[in-house]
Amino acid sequence: MNPILTYSNVTKQFGSLWALKDVSLTIEPGHIVGLLGPNGSGKTTLLKIACGLLCPSSGTVDVCGGPVGPQSKLRISYLPDKNYLSEWMRVSQIIDLFHDFYSNFDRNKAYEMLGRLDISPNRKLKTLSKGTREKVQLILVMSRNADLYLLDEPIGGVDPAARDYILRTILTNYNEQGSILISTHLISDVEKVLDQIIFLKNGSVALQSSVDDVRAQYQKSVDELFREVFQC
C-alpha cells in the first residue's frame, strides 16, 4: 500500500524567509498524526503545500502515490485555520454548495453531525459564535470521504469543554482507511488521540515518531517532550 503523503527534501522560501527547510516525511494509511510546533514553525505552510495552495521552492510532494494536482485535491479534505465561508449564507446553503462541489461529500453525515452539535441548519453563519462557525467548518471537512484529512488548529477556537467532543467528532467521522494530520500547539488536548507525532521546529523536522516510542524512549508524555524541545 502506497503512503498517503510523502515529502521529499521540500523547501519553501518567501523572499529571504525560510518557512520550510529540507523537509522529508512519510505518512502511512490508517494513522492519526500530530503536526506539532510553536507558532511560526511552518505547520500551515506544510499543509498548504500538500493541498496545492502553495508550491514548494524545491523538493517534491506525493499524495497517494501521485503528484499534487487536480486528482490529489479529491483525495484531500482540508480545514484551514481561517474562516473562508460567506457569512451571509445559511448553514444549509453551505452544505448544498459542498455537495455540488465535492463528489465525495456526504450530505446526510453533515446533517447528522449538525444535529449532534445542536447547530440549526437554518442559521446564517454571521449569527453564529466564532466557535460554532469553526464547528461548521469542521463538519464540512469531516463529511467528505477523503483519503487524507489536513486539519489546521481544529480546536484552537473552541472552549476547553467542547474540545473532547470535537476530537470525538473527528475520530468517528473520518475514512479509517485514510489518515489525519492535525496541526496544533495544544498538545495535551490532542495527545490521547494521536498514533504518531511530527515535531516541526524553525521549518525543519526535529522528530518523527510513534507516540508509544516517545513514551518508551524518553519516559515522557508527548506534551512533556514538546515543552522540553521547544522551551524558550
Ordered per-residue pLDDT tens for the chain, 232 residues: 789 999 999 999 999 899 999 999 999 998 999 999 888 899 999 999 999 999 999 999 999 889 998 888 889 999 998 888 888 999 999 999 999 999 999 999 999 999 988 899 999 999 998 888 888 998 999 999 999 999 998 877 677 777 777 788 777 777 778 899 999 877 888 888 899 999 999 999 999 999 999 999 999 899 999 888 887 5
Host domain of residue 59:
5-229
H or E, element range at 196: strand 196-201
Q: What is the pLDDT of residue 157?
A: 67
Q: What is the pLDDT of residue 62?
A: 95
Contacts 24+ apart (CB under 8 A), 166-175: 166/135, 166/138, 167/192, 167/193, 169/113, 169/116, 169/117, 169/138, 169/139, 169/142, 170/138, 170/142, 171/32, 173/109, 173/113, 173/142, 173/143, 174/142, 174/146, 174/149, 175/145, 175/146, 175/147
The number of distinct structural domains making up the chain is 1
CATH code: domain of residue 42:
3.40.50.300
Identify any residues that bridge with 30 across adjacent strands, giving them in sequence order.
none
Q: What is the pLDDT of residue 232?
A: 59
Q: What is the pLDDT of residue 91?
A: 96
Burial (CB count within 10 angstroms: exposed 0-12, middle 13-18, buried 19+), residue 92: middle
Selection from 201, 225, 232, 228 nearest residue 42 by Cα: 201
CA angle 226, 227, 229 (to 5 degrees): 65
